[in-house]
Amino acid sequence: MPFDISVLPVFLAASLVLLVTPGPDVAFIVATGVSEGRRPALWASAGISLAMFAHSVFAAAGVAAIVATSPLAFDVIRFGGAAYLIFLAYKSFRSKPFVAGTQVTARSPVENFRRGFITNLLNPKAILFSGVFLPQFASPSYGSIFQQVVGLGAVLAFLGLLVQATLSIASGSLGQWLLSSPRRQVMLERLMGVVFLGLAARLLTMERKG
């Protein structure tokens, strides 16, 4: 283990509470599961989890400190994330009607993975969270702080994948019924667009603290 395993119980408990707390990732996964089904939500979950691990690498490398102290870096990431979410909302509002209960232009696993990955990656709060949360469980006396933070980030990302997969299956089960009607499918696609706009507005109104 690249970190002190004695901190693992507390780390897992704290991580689980944070992961199940409603937030952008939970909203994104549930909306994807309900509007598109379990499989797209699972791929999006995998993308979010990889982005979570990437944030731990950024935190270990000091990027989180740069974002915390640089208004320009914070705003570049914030506006970039909001622009991407607005683009996704536009695509949702422009989606065409479905045929026989099946979406004509189904998103590929790669596209769903990419949407989850970029949505989380371009969230400056996620970057700052990794920079504040993970180092609390690293100890200089145990070895390389970089390795400890990255190792803890890997555990957090895996736990996040399990939580998000559970949400994907639960929301996707409801989505199976909703997706059986072309009219409901169109309404859900529009609802997904509203979710993206809401997440974009959250980023645009976000303030840097510290």
Question: Is 12 part of any domain?
Answer: no
Question: Is 28 part of any domain?
Answer: yes
Higher pLDDT, 154 or 206: 154
What is the per-residue pLDDT across 29-38, written as a single tens digit (0 to 9) for each? Answer: 988 888 788 8
User: What are the structure tokens assigned to 175, written together?
Assistant: 């989505």
Residue 96 CB neighbours (<10 A) = 10
What is the per-residue pLDDT across 40-49, written as a single tens digit (0 to 9) for each? Answer: 999 999 999 9
Query: pTM of the entire structure?
Result: 0.74
Q: What one-letter code names the amino acid at 40? A: P
Nearest to 41 by CA among 82, 81, 49: 49
Q: Domain range holding 67?
A: 24-204
Widest pairwise Cα distance in the chain: 62
Question: Is 181 part of any domain?
Answer: yes
Question: Is 7 part of any domain?
Answer: no
Question: Is 11 part of any domain?
Answer: no
**Domains held by the chain: number:** 1
Q: Quick one: pLDDT at residue 182?
A: 65
Question: Is 16 part of any domain?
Answer: no
Nearest to 87 by CA among 118, 123, 49, 113: 118
Question: Is 13 part of any domain?
Answer: no
Could you give the C-alpha distances from 126 to 6, 40, 107, in angstroms and in order? 25, 22, 26
Question: Is 134 part of any domain?
Answer: yes
